[in-house]
Amino acid sequence: MRKWSFILFCLTALAGLIVLVGCEGDTGLTGGQGAKGRRGTAGYDPDQLPPADRVFAFAVTNATENAISGKRQAYLTFDSTAKATRDTVVAGRVSVPPLIDGLDGEEYEWGAQKSKMPLSFLNPDPGVADCKLKNGVVRAAYDDDNIYFQFQWQEQRVAPKINGEEVVVADVGESKELNQLSFFYRGPRADGSANMTLRRVKLFSCQPDSGTDTSYALVRVTYHPLCLYNDGDTCGCWDLRPTNPPPDISYLWVLKPGGEDRLVVFFPDEAATGWQDVAFKQFFGFTSTNPEMPSNFFVDVWGWGAARTMPVEVADDWNISAAGAKPDLGQAPYIDNYIPADSFPRYMNRRDPNVRTSESAAKSTAAIYPLRYFDAVPYSRVGWAEGIDSTAPAARGLRVDCYLPGIITTVSSGSRADVYTAARFDNGVWTVEMKRARRTHNGDDVQF
């Protein structure tokens, strides 16, 4: 009996072995794709530590150069257990970076931490009006490669009454017409003679001609380094040429300073006492303060402007040291479009003259900003507001206003262009978002 049991066991084992080493059968049809699994937890590079905590400051303007409001000092921490306050910004690590598009993605993009910061007026110089910017908000985030910021602030109309007259200090709007150039022209009189309005052109020091002094408006003048005729805080300009031939009546373009909304962020390498006063004075040109320069002073400056940088979606990266404020190495996002010595622009739009004038309602509202470098041609004084149409204001001797942008938009590069930005203006509120590599390997940048 045992013999037959052993034989049966051996036959069963042999049959199993034959099945195991037998030919592989045909593969069946592929089944349907299963449901998508949940997202895994964010990875973490143990060699990539969070950035070191630091302090910073920021300033914003409403169509001015240095009437700044903002925060003198805020604390930036990368401690996820900290809580955002009016003085502390908490940057959280993100697995999906926020979109830098100027649209407020709120908690979905930036996380729950949000610092609401009241804005203070920061310009100490006398006679500078407060634009009363308000409702500052700052968010921050980071990942292994980049650091991200979002800044928001709100504009409001400021128009106090002085001697019964309303004086507009600030208004609500997307201000991006930096250093606008303009002149006004009056068409010829009925006899065809030039219809010049006697008005002194200011801002430069000039010598009067011998004999009877005659001031002109819209005339090119010869400048002298000495100011012999002081007209208030500026000097009147006079034409030095003899009356025969008559003075050159080329148009003089007048520069209107300001006209741009701005955000400037300051990151000191070391938070020495009073570093903000030095940085603000050097960058904004304050005159009423003279703070002592700390030793080994260095501040990284990210400057965003609705005219200077928004068209090319970067910040203008500067730095401040004992040598003063200077741009980082590289190409600037704009060039100035004005030659002060001649009161003439450098460039005009290839569609000029008269892309925007007051000859008609359509032209008076035409956008002249930004004027990009590939649309710019050298300035020509021919044809401006001459009024070829007999029904046009210039032909009827009426005043015509002409405008050119004060800057030409270019393409920035190098260390000066390593901060990427996007911005939107909506219902009186600016949202400006920034992104920069944590380590740029440039000596003119702070590293995170």
pLDDT tens-digit series, residues 79-117: 989 999 999 999 999 999 999 999 998 999 999 999 999
Domain extents for the chain?
54-160+261-325+415-437
Is residue 153 a contact partner of residue 170, using CB atoms and an 8 Å limit?
A: no
At residue 45, does pLDDT exceed 70?
no
Q: Which residue has the higher pLDDT, 191 or 322?
A: 322
d(CA 132, CA 299) in angstroms, rounded, equals 26
At 367-379, the pLDDT tens digits run 788 999 999 999 8
Instruction: With H, G, I as helix, E, B as strand and everything else as coil, classify residue 169.
Output: coil
Of 42-46, 259-263, 314-318, 428-432, the range with the lowest mean pLDDT is 42-46
Which pLDDT belongs to residue 25?
Answer: 55
Portion of the chain with pLDDT greater than 90, in percent: 48
Q: Which amino acid is at 17?
A: L
At residue 340, does pLDDT exceed 90?
no
Which pLDDT belongs to residue 143?
Answer: 95
CATH code for the structural domain at 54-160+261-325+415-437: 2.60.40
At residue 348, does pLDDT exceed 50?
yes
Q: Which amino acid is at 336?
A: D
d(CA 73, CA 62) in angstroms, rounded, equals 20
Q: 156 φ, ψ to 5°?
A: -150, 155
At 118-168, the pLDDT tens digits run 999 999 888 889 999 999 999 999 999 999 999 999 999 999 888 888 888
Which pLDDT belongs to residue 373?
Answer: 94
Q: Could you give the dihedral angle defined by the CA atoms of residues 193, 199, 203 and 206, in that order, rounded to the nearest 10 degrees?
A: 70
Which pLDDT belongs to residue 330?
Answer: 95
112 phi-psi bin (left φ>0, alpha ψ -120 to 50, beta other): alpha
At 320-334, the pLDDT tens digits run 999 999 999 999 999
Which pLDDT belongs to residue 250?
Answer: 52
Q: Which residue has the higher pLDDT, 239 or 77?
A: 77
Is residue 366 a contact partner of residue 381, using CB atoms and an 8 Å limit?
A: no
CA triplet 230, 231, 237: central angle to 5 degrees? 80
Q: Which residue has the higher pLDDT, 273 or 89?
A: 89
115 beta partners = 138
Q: Find all residues with CB under 8 Å of 5, minimum gap 6, and list them.
A: none
Q: Find all residues with CB under 8 Å of 24, minimum gap 6, and list them.
A: none
Confidence of residue 299 (pLDDT cuts 50, 70, 90): very high
Which pLDDT belongs to residue 226?
Answer: 40
At 411-434, the pLDDT tens digits run 999 999 999 999 999 999 999 999
Q: Find all residues with CB under 8 Å of 324, minimum gap 6, and list them.
A: 282
**How far from 338 is each of 34, 228, 283, 408, CA to CA, in Å?**
66, 25, 21, 10
- Mean pLDDT score across all residues of the chain: 79
Q: Find all residues with CB under 8 Å of 120, minimum gap 6, and list them.
A: 69, 70, 71, 72
Q: Which residue has the higher pLDDT, 43 or 435?
A: 435
Q: Which residue has the tokens 């003089």?
A: 252
What average pLDDT does this structure show over 291-316? 93
Q: Residue 306 has which token pair? A: 């609705």
What average pLDDT does this structure show over 182-203? 52
Which pLDDT belongs to residue 326?
Answer: 96
**How far from 373 is each of 124, 259, 317, 338, 348, CA to CA, in Å?**
37, 20, 20, 14, 10
Q: 140 φ, ψ to 5°?
A: -150, 155
Q: Which residue has the tokens 């012999």?
A: 228
343 phi-psi bin (left φ>0, alpha ψ -120 to 50, beta other): left
- How many other C-beta atoms lie within 10 A of the C-beta of residue 372? 13
Confidence of residue 193 (pLDDT cuts 50, 70, 90): low
- The alpha carbon dihedral of 411, 416, 418, 423 has a sign of negative
**How far from 93 is each of 49, 84, 151, 238, CA to CA, in Å?**
11, 15, 18, 63
Which pLDDT belongs to residue 222?
Answer: 40
